Amino acid sequence: MTTHEVANALVKFCTEGKLDKAIETLYSPDIVSMEAGAPPGQSRESKGLAAVKAKNEFWTASHDVHSFIVEGPLVAGSQFAVVFKIDATIKAQSRRFQMEEVAVYKVADGKIVYEEFFYNM
Amino acid sequence: MTTHEVANALVKFCTEGKLDKAIETLYSPDIVSMEAGAPPGQSRESKGLAAVKAKNEFWTASHDVHSFIVEGPLVAGSQFAVVFKIDATIKAQSRRFQMEEVAVYKVADGKIVYEEFFYNM
């Protein structure tokens, strides 16, 4: 898959709420995923497919998603950017919040090998 | 200025080839600029307006730009992303190259405080 094809597939999966399918089909076993920040004692970085799947499963299980809007992609060589606009509730706290973030992805050999998220902490 | 206004102004300046004006008018004195990589012994990071101006002036002086296409912006909260597609010649080497990169910007108090570039090394 070209970068454009990977980018469009990611946007389609995310728009349909199928982040698990995006990870399963588009991510490299060697994926590195970088958050904008992390709680004290935890790392911003997750390495490997199992860690990234676990991060996604935790997020999905702990949130009720009211809307999840994806804008983009903007594609440049083997990189692309999208924007996520999320309206969700943290189940355990019954706390609803809205957040917007930029995500940058790098593609190698047709798979996503790196992702980084930019949002306010 | 809102993030959208800063983003649109940056795209306009860059499309017109006025990167110097973009830096002068839109960048914070405390700007941090992060390249995807750096030559051995050099830093990926430039800090402060003087360093970022100098980096831009060096680039401008050492390249003939044949085309400089800007796509975007994608705006998310106080962050935004654009794509640059550059066709240029390194004057000293008479070497023409094409490159495409994703740029991510963070805005605070109406000024760009952080920029990071994603491209293949």
ipTM, 2 dp: 0.93
pLDDT tens digits, one per residue of A34-77 = 999 998 899 999 999 999 999 999 999 999 999 999 999 999 99
Mutate to test the interface with B, among A3, A68, A74 (most CBs of B within 10 A): A74
Mutate to test the interface with B, among A100, A118, A120, A121 (most CBs of B within 10 A): A118
Residue A90's Cβ-side half-sphere holds a number of Cα atoms within 13 Å equal to 6
Structure tokens at B117: 């570039």
Helices B3-15 and B19-26 pack at an angle, to 10 degrees, of 160
If you compute the radius of gyration of chain B from its CA atoms, what whole number of angstroms results?
14
Q: How many CB pairs below 8 A link A and B?
A: 77
Predicted pLDDT of residue A82: 98
Quick count: other Cβ atoms within 10 Å of Cβ B34?
Answer: 16
Res A33 pLDDT > 90: yes
Overall size of chain A counted in residues: 121
Q: In angstroms, rounded to a whole number, what is the distance separating the alpha carbons of residues B77 and A85?
A: 9
Q: In angstroms, rounded to a whole number, what is the distance separating the alpha carbons of residues A111 and B20?
A: 37
Quick count: other Cβ atoms within 10 Å of Cβ B45?
Answer: 12
**What is the overall mean pLDDT for chain A?**
97
Q: In angstroms, rounded to a whole number, what is the distance separating the alpha carbons of residues A49 and A28?
A: 7
Task: Confirm if A63 and A41 have CB atoms less than 8 A apart.
Answer: no
Q: In angstroms, rounded to a whole number, what is the distance separating the alpha carbons of residues B98 and B64?
A: 12
Q: In angstroms, rounded to a whole number, what is the distance separating the alpha carbons of residues B57 and B111?
A: 20
| Contact assignment for B118 to A104 by CB distance below 8 Å | yes
Mean pLDDT by 10 residues, chain B (121 residues): 98 96 98 94 95 96 97 98 98 97 98 97 79
Q: Residue B81: which of A77, A78, A81 has the nearest Cβ?
A: A81
Mutate to test the interface with B, among A80, A87, A102 (most CBs of B within 10 A): A102
| Contact assignment for A80 to B102 by CB distance below 8 Å | yes
Q: In angstroms, rounded to a whole number, what is the distance separating the alpha carbons of residues A77 and B121?
A: 12
Q: In angstroms, rounded to a whole number, what is the distance separating the alpha carbons of residues A73 and A4?
A: 8
Q: Residue A74: which of B77, B99, B102 has the nearest Cβ?
A: B102
Predicted pLDDT of residue A97: 97
Chain A residues touching B120 at Cβ < 8 A? 77-79
